[in-house]
Amino acid sequence: MSSTDPGQLLLVGVPGPALSPEDAAFFRKLQPGGFILFGRNIQSPSQLRRLMDDLRDLSDVEPVITIDQEGGRVSRLRLIGSEPPNARQLRERGDMSLIRRHGDITGRLLRLFGFNLDLCPVLDISFDDEADNSLKGRCYGRTAAEVIEKAGAFNDSLRAAGILSCGKHFPGYSSAGNDPHHELPAIERSREDMEAHELAVFRHFADKVDSMMIGHITISGLESGGPPASLSSAIITELLRRDMGFEGLIMTDDLDMGAILNHYGFDDTMRMGIAAGNDMLMICHRVELAAKAREIIAGMASRDIEPALARMAAFKKKLAPPTAFSEEAFRALDGEVWNLRVDTLGAEGAADRSPEDGKRSPVEVY
């Protein structure tokens, strides 16, 4: 296997906290470009690092290993340690040094375990902090300028610590009224409004993040009657690549989401995803389907997959290696997370964790 293998265009979930012989054989044959981890993969600090090392050992090409480590409820590592403050809490505290600390601590913590990409920052604008669209607490600002300032501080510090970043969820779905984990949001919004708000943020970050995640959403002013952004060449190739000049890695949001599954067949979704300009297709939960996805990609015309393979290879040249692991190093970093939480929320506020504390939500949010 090599960097030109079609499996390199897949970002796949891992079934559990350890690789069974069957899992190892499956991934060794599949040779995916990357792995994404969730709460189901995390039991203890030493177990997590061991899983990381095992994933690397069975990969012929250095894999992307990523996670959603934002803050608040979307912080997978809170299962084994302290919960960082979320973007809204940091925004409301109004201290930029705390946001920069959050990015730095997050980067060092992820490298300790062996991650090389964090699926953040969220670049959506919070038009309504109470909207029921999966973004509650996750947005750095209520205006484009506020998101640019505060998400930018986190992003710069995260990358300086050696972890690559991912802007999400392009082209912006914070004005959606429903959750794409369940159904495809369709927004009636003009191109002019998008340019003044959501797209202004993504334009700013086009040369400042290493990757972009495309949301499962349709927006009338960008492509009326077309497929969701995650399967749209008008959104990915024309708008993000050519108009905004983004040269980094582009990935879909999870293709196991109801937003996609309720409207498109699996085979068509895989083909459309690559043809639209994505470099990685994300399959988080039905991991066994990744073998079928690889076959579908392998059957596509070389002109469709070669640019994505080249971008994937270029992206992997930027991956930083893990730092040396020890339980002591983890405890020290976890103490930094706790101190950040106290400095952001106060001692009393820091004692209250998210309602989902101690258990996984039925739907993993990303």
Interval 117-153: pLDDT, tens: 999 999 999 999 988 778 999 999 999 999 999 999 9
Between 266 and 181, residue with greater pLDDT: 266
On whether residue 362 sits in a domain, the answer given is no
* Residue 106 CA, distance from chain mean position: 14
On whether residue 361 sits in a domain, the answer given is no
Distance CA 42, CA 59 (A): 20
Are residues 322 and 114 in contact, defined by beta-carbon separation less than 8 angstroms?
yes
The total domain count for the chain is 1
As given in the structure block, the two tokens for residue 95 are: 């201290």
Are residues 148 and 178 in contact, defined by beta-carbon separation less than 8 angstroms?
no
On whether residue 299 sits in a domain, the answer given is yes
On whether residue 328 sits in a domain, the answer given is yes
The string of DSSP letters for 13-43 reads E-SSSS--HHHHHHHHHH--SEEE--GGG-S
Coil, helix or strand for 297? helix
State the residue range of the domain holding 152: 9-343
Strand ranges, E, within 194-264 = 211-214, 218-219, 249-254
As given in the structure block, the two tokens for residue 74 are: 């979307």
Distance CA 208, CA 3 (A): 25
Distance CA 33, CA 63 (A): 6
On whether residue 351 sits in a domain, the answer given is no
- pLDDT category, 365, cuts 50, 70, 90? low
Q: Which of 258-262, 321-325, 332-336, 355-359 has the lowest mean pLDDT?
A: 355-359
Distance CA 280, CA 210 (A): 13
On whether residue 130 sits in a domain, the answer given is yes
- pLDDT category, 364, cuts 50, 70, 90? low
Interval 1-47: pLDDT, tens: 568 899 999 999 999 999 999 999 999 999 999 999 999 999 999 99
Distance CA 76, CA 86 (A): 13
Q: Which residues is 282 bridged to in the sheet?
A: 11, 254
Q: Which residues is 74 bridged to in the sheet?
A: 71
Distance CA 148, CA 231 (A): 26
For residue 216, what is the domain's CATH number?
Answer: 3.20.20.300
Interval 197-250: pLDDT, tens: 999 999 999 999 999 999 988 899 999 888 999 999 999 999 999 999 999 999
Unique residue bearing structure tokens 């947005």 = 139
Coil, helix or strand for 317? coil
Q: Among residues 125, 128, 121, 114, which one has the least CA distance to residue 66?
A: 114
> What's this model's pTM, rounded to 2 decimal places?
0.94
Q: Among residues 215, 324, 280, 266, which one has the least CA distance to residue 63?
A: 280
On whether residue 51 sits in a domain, the answer given is yes
On whether residue 103 sits in a domain, the answer given is yes
